[in-house]
Structure 1
């Protein structure tokens, strides 16, 4: 319970399949699923297009949920079930002697949750279906055109060619995004590591740690459990640069693992093996008119630090409520510009941090080895530097730009505050609404009941916070009068 009378998200009735969507989301990975579920929960008709058949793939590469993503999932009532399905890790080893203690994070989720991406997709898809998202699988987007009133999406299905019209389109369709290409956006960058091997195998020997990772000279290896008896093995040998289509044998995976980790743990019975290359790329813009990019369609980077899926989830959480506000007529088009303004710098920072981890992990030259040793010493000895690194990797340290003269908390992430009556802030956020956290009782009025939840601090506080649906401060004030609070609500909530 939240103490506000709200026990969970409002579930609108499932729209008829022929209903024209207000938003078309392309891609049913975690980013697209969270975004579509948010929009449908807010009452926005949304269609999700996916070219794959109707199933959840178990061949995903992501294996970790960081604290900020777990907070976002908590605000949607999903974190607890995922916590039960995954395994907690309180220390994250990046390279060599550098290990970060996650237990010090200022979050209810002061750990890394090791969980396969398909488990996250399963929960998000169920939520989206319950909210009324119109799923259309085996539907390929072949192009789109936009005008002042909307976007026409061209489709190809088994039944032939077709079109779908919507007010907005979001491309969450991965690195090779058709949506990004259709709006003419480049994807500048380069391949960082090539011929990375992946294998899902059984192990005769169980690793001592939940996540096993190490580098040795020119080789790197990583092992993580699926939880069903299989393990994902990721390996790279800098000296072996072959095309992605080159056949992969288990012997090669075993050799890389032995070189990096000292033994191959008796791996056997592979159910899937593949090669891939890891790029660092970012689109120059996340918005072109009525079309938006999110997740891997907007940015890709190395898997170091496990930030990929997490960054996409947070893109979706940022964009969904803004689209809902504009479509409901409560905000102007300029609100949608803040999506790129807020998320593009975060994507750029993730590229830098994940790329830096890889380069330092594989350091060979004396100056890079010295830099790695120095960074390890600094993070071990300097608490501010360690907090900054933790905040960046886990996502809890990012803040968005605030207008000049705004309260110092504006744009910051809000932790899971304790509320009067025993509730928590992230429970209050589960309705997809703004949340006003005030020192005393506040009546939002009947006209705002569907978009604002008013709660009280637990304890004696003078600060009034208006928390956005994505858990960031939209406005704050000390000792705010009812008139000042009302003006802020009119400006932000409508």
Structure 2
């Protein structure tokens, strides 16, 4: 074996899953066909759920200063995300190039081996291992691993070579995205439709300007390289009457509205993460964020399987949990596309939506949907409101008087049993799993009546931050939950 796990693709999803595997103590090789990062930044910022993910790993300070906001939209219709009480605000000014740089340094610091200039050309799952043929410096060679993860984007080579089914709808139009300099344009929000389509303008922290051009009737193209900037400028002029051909393009990209999702996130010893598993209209910047969350869901599970502390059946929960999330992602991005890409015939529906989002309940549902905060996994029956949800960030004071937060105890990517009632019987029950989880006895601060933690005696949190068991309120006992998520007791 060259490594227990090979990850193909060094974008945000690939770097995240590699780092998560290293937290689990697993050796990882990351293969990236590009010799260096492109500097392109299709994604801008993080949703509230991704902010929580990075907070639990202690990564947020690495991004430096950035703006946060409760302003959002659904299909171009403004939505106040402030209705999500207690939720993190979304980050709005972090370019994807910065995200990739931070995640790469994190992964390398944990011991991930990153091999750039290495393109995957062949793949064979033997049933007991995966053989990956790689064309890189020094020529072609074959690497062998127990598992291989495809994080290589919407045109995934892994997906094609491994034979994943990828049903859905093809693109109906081509749109442009570009960062430009040397042009003074008034900001335009998504949703301000024009007779021929829609454009967006937004300033970026580095002084450049992000523009998006969506011209109805522009047929999709099969491109092997970015479109010439002049195509972008011509489309902009047709829609707005403004000539921006004199601007200096930093980078240019084309995208479409194709919507597809693999039928399974795992085939044998090959798994898919992020855009390799699902493609969609980039509405609200959800793609990169969902890919990062896919990676965090998979990393600790595959780590446990490789270590031998859990059976391969644990990987089935990666598909069941994240396929459902991807399915709703495709649904909401398709709905948003109908709202801001279609013509005047859709205006009555836009008007109805604008009225509906004035209702707090509607705004809360839409905001939670596009922020990832609605996610609830099936962890077993029960009445506790946190079962299957993320553990909220709360202040904790340990028996030794140490003040901390629930997020801080998740830094190392291990499960945590929070004993909030100083219960020695509970701690004794969890002791056989002490090599896989941390047992923290503490009192929670600032918990008021009505809070989901009010009256809670204990919470078992998975390494990805989701609550697997809580007392009182779970229909199964702690030992059953520990076996399900962390394998059998240590002998």
Q: Quickly name the TM-score band, shorter chain normalised.
A: 0.7 to 0.9
1:357-399 superposed Cα distances (whole Å, 9 cap, x missing partner): 0111133364x33222222211212x22221111110001111
Match of 2:164 in 1: 185
1:204-256 superposed Cα distances (whole Å, 9 cap, x missing partner): 436458x6663223321223444222222121111333635499565653465
Alpha-carbon separation, structure 2, partners of 1:489 and 1:191: 43
Alpha-carbon separation, structure 1, partners of 2:229 and 2:115: 37
Contact 1:103–1:111 (8 Å) recurs in 2: no
Alpha-carbon separation, structure 2, partners of 1:342 and 1:95: 26
Q: CA deviation at 1:158?
A: 3.1
Match of 2:485 in 1: 492
- SS state of the match for residue 444, structure 2? coil
Question: Which runs of no fewer than 5 residues in structure 2 stay unpaired?
Answer: 448-454
1:277-333 superposed Cα distances (whole Å, 9 cap, x missing partner): 332111111011111011011001001121110110010010001011112222111
Alpha-carbon separation, structure 1, partners of 2:226 and 2:118: 30
Match of 1:7 in 2: none
Match of 2:450 in 1: none
Alpha-carbon separation, structure 2, partners of 1:455 and 1:297: 41
Contact 2:281–2:334 (8 Å) recurs in 1: yes
The equivalences for 1:348-387 within 5 A come to: 348-364=327-343, 366=345, 368-381=346-359, 383-387=360-364
Alpha-carbon separation, structure 2, partners of 1:450 and 1:111: 32
Match of 1:9 in 2: none
1:48 aligns with 2:41: no
Contact 1:186–1:284 (8 Å) recurs in 2: yes
Match of 2:413 in 1: 432
Match of 1:403 in 2: 380
1:127 aligns with 2:127: no
Alignment CA distance shift 1:484-1:357 (3 Å) = closer
Match of 2:123 in 1: 144
Count of residue pairs brought into register by the alignment: 468
Comparing 247-256 with 110-119, which one deviates more in the overlay? 247-256
- SS state of the match for residue 419, structure 1? strand
* Residue of 45, 64, 69 corresponding to 1:89: 69
Question: Which runs of no fewer than 5 residues in structure 1 stay unpaired?
Answer: 1-18
Comparing 164-173 with 84-93, which one deviates more in the overlay? 84-93
Match of 2:210 in 1: 232
Instruction: Name the Cα RMSD after superposition.
Output: 2.8
Q: CA deviation at 1:133?
A: 0.6
- SS state of the match for residue 326, structure 1? helix
- SS state of the match for residue 207, structure 2? coil
Contact 1:434–1:451 (8 Å) recurs in 2: yes
Alignment CA distance shift 1:191-1:492 (3 Å) = closer
Q: CA deviation at 1:37?
A: 0.6
Match of 1:159 in 2: 138
